[in-house]
Amino acid sequence: MGEGSVNRMYSAIACGVFEEEIERLIPSIPPPNSIRYIDPGLHVDFDQLEEALREALDECRERCIVAFGACHPQMDEILAPYGAVALSSQNCIDALIGREEIERRAELGLYFYLSPGWLKCWRDIFRRLGWGMEEARMGLGCFKGAIYLDTLGDAEDREDDLLEFFDFTLLYFEVVEVDLGHFRSLILEARDRLEV
């Protein structure tokens, strides 16, 4: 990033699943003028997600980074009229650990990934999907287990929430420490694309 770009104003719209990670990174990135977090449960309803994104984009006063994966099949078309740029990732897990790491782990089996944000919103997402305990266990039955991405280094404080997820889904979980360097690089890369 060039020296002249550091003072350029920009805004951010982010999936609420990233809120804690973004707030942790704010001191180490050029801070956005404003950040609006969108309800992570909306990704189960494309119409509601598009409406929320367009509403947030309409309110942006500066150029905007959109911290979402490809959570809507027409994400590029939604962002194009606003000149907004999305992170270069397929989904939130890809944004946190990278595609190569996901593929490496996939060789060991199919896993359901959780992050701090996911640990907060899975109940709401399951509710929106119409999943009670039985439906969740059936829907997630193909997974070998769950991997909790400890992006904030506080997995011990979230043990009760992890056990609740296990009780609900019967997916054994593994805690994996995750450095936020990859996520930070995606944000900086998206910001650089705003400068072009």
Residue 4 has pLDDT above 70, yes or no: no
CATH 3.40.50, domain 3-91+180-195, yes or no: yes
Beta pairing, strands 111-114 & 145-150 = parallel
Return the pLDDT at 61: 72
Spatial separation of the C-alpha atoms in residues 143 and 179, rounded to whole Å: 24
b or e along 79-109 (b: 16 or more beta carbons within 10 Å of the residue's beta carbon)?
Answer: beebebbbbebebbbbbbbbeebbeebeeee
Q: Where are the domains of the chain?
A: 3-91+180-195, 94-177
Spatial separation of the C-alpha atoms in residues 194 and 33, rounded to whole Å: 14
Beta pairing, strands 173-177 & 63-67 = unpaired
Rounded to 5 degrees, φ, ψ at 150 are -85, 75
What is the average pLDDT across 22-42?
92
* Residue whose structure tokens are 């982010």: 14
Indicate the pLDDT class of residue 62, thresholds 50, 70 and 90: confident
Tell me the CB-side half-sphere exposure of residue 35, using CA atoms within 13 A.
18
Return the pLDDT at 70: 84
Indicate the pLDDT class of residue 196, thresholds 50, 70 and 90: low
